[in-house]
Amino acid sequence: MTGRIAIVSGDPAGRRHPLRSIAHSYLESLLPRNGAGASLAPEFRASINGEWVANRPHPPIEDFPALQIFLDPVQGGVVVTGVAVSAGMRCPYALRLKVQGEQILEAESILSDSRKGHFADVDQMLEPDVLYDAPVPPERASDRAALTAAADSYWTGLQESDGSIPRFSYRCERFDNGKKLTNNLSILLSPEATVLTCASSLNLTRGARPVARNRRFPVLDVDLGIVASFALVDFQPNPQNGLPGMAYYALGLFKIVDGSIRSLDEISTKLPLGTPPIW
C-alpha cells in the first residue's frame, strides 16, 4: 500500500501558515513510502495512546483518507483530526504537534480502536463538518481566555456530571469517534432508550463519578472559534450498569460562537483506569 494524505479541510482560503506545511511533512513521514521529510528537534518526543514511541507509530499507519488541520501560531500548536488506516482498518485519529521555529518538539497521537458501536462510527468522519472552517464574525467571537474557559467548562461539567455547567448552544450537537450521540434515533431504539442532548449526556455519567484530569488546550483559534483540548477522563466502575472502570484518553474539538459551545467532536480511546499522564 503506497499511502496517501487527504486534507479535507481545516485551513480556509487566505489563512495559509508554515505550521500547516510542517504538519503535512510529519504526516507524510508516517506513511510507508516515506522515511523522512519532517524536521525533528534533537529533543523530539512522540507518543501514541499514552505510551512513548519512536518517530514511526506502532501499529503502522498506511493511509490518511480524511484529515482536518487546526493551527495556533501563538503556542506553536498543531492539532490534526480525522481518519487513519492501520492494519487495513479505518480508525479515529488525532495528532498534536508542538513546533518551535521550524522543528517539531513533540508529537502526541491517539489511534482509537473504537470504530463502530454505541460511541463510534468512524465512517462518518470521512466527511468532516465544514462548520469548523467557518470564520466567526468579530462581534460573536471570543478571545483566547474565553475560548479556554468555554472548553474547560465542558470538562468540568463532565467531571461534575452536571450538564448545566457548560454553556451549550441551542444548536449544539455532540459526536464521539464520528458517532452522533445527540438527537439520534438509533440511541432511542437502543437499550438506553433515550434521546440525548449535550447536557443530558453529561448528567448520565453521575454513577461513574468521572474525573477529567490533565486538561490541555494546545490550539486556540479566535478567528474560527476553535479549541482543541486533550484530557484523561477516569470513569469508576458503575454498579448500576455493570461497566468496569476505565480511562478515556480524549481530544475534544470545540466550535465556540457567542461564548457558547456550538459543536463538539471527541476522539478517544480506552485506557486502564488511573493511567498516568505522560505529557
pLDDT digits (tens, 9 = 90+) for 233-268: 999 997 766 678 999 999 999 999 999 999 999 999
Domain count, the chain: 2
Residue 214 has pLDDT above 70, yes or no: yes
Q: 84 or 36: which carries more pLDDT confidence?
A: 84
Same domain? 140 vs 261:
yes
Cβ(103)–Cβ(39) below 8 Å? yes
Residue 2 has pLDDT above 60, yes or no: no
Q: Residue 206: phi, psi to the nearest 5?
A: -60, -40
For residue 167, give its domain range.
132-271
pLDDT tens-digit readout, 61-107: 999 999 999 999 999 999 999 999 999 999 999 999 999 999 999 99
DSSP-assigned letters across all residues of 49-92: TTEEE-SS-SSPP-EEEEEEEEEETTTTEEEEEEEEEETTEEEE
What is the CATH number for 95?
3.10.450.50
> Identity (one letter) of the amino acid at 219?
V
Give buried/exposed letters for 214-236 (b at 16+ CB in 10 A, else e). Answer: ebebbbbbbebbbbbbbbbbbbb
Amino acid 1: pLDDT: 40
pTM for the model: 0.92
- On whether residue 277 sits in a domain, the answer given is no
- Give the cell for residue 168: 451549550
Q: Of the candidates 122, 148, 164, which is a domain's last residue?
A: 122
- On whether residue 95 sits in a domain, the answer given is yes
Q: Of the candidates 100, 122, 144, which is a domain's last residue?
A: 122
Which is nearest to 193 in space by CA: 138, 136, 118? 118
Same domain? 114 vs 137:
no
CA distance from start to end of the chain: 33
Same domain? 240 vs 138:
yes
- Give the cell for residue 242: 455493570
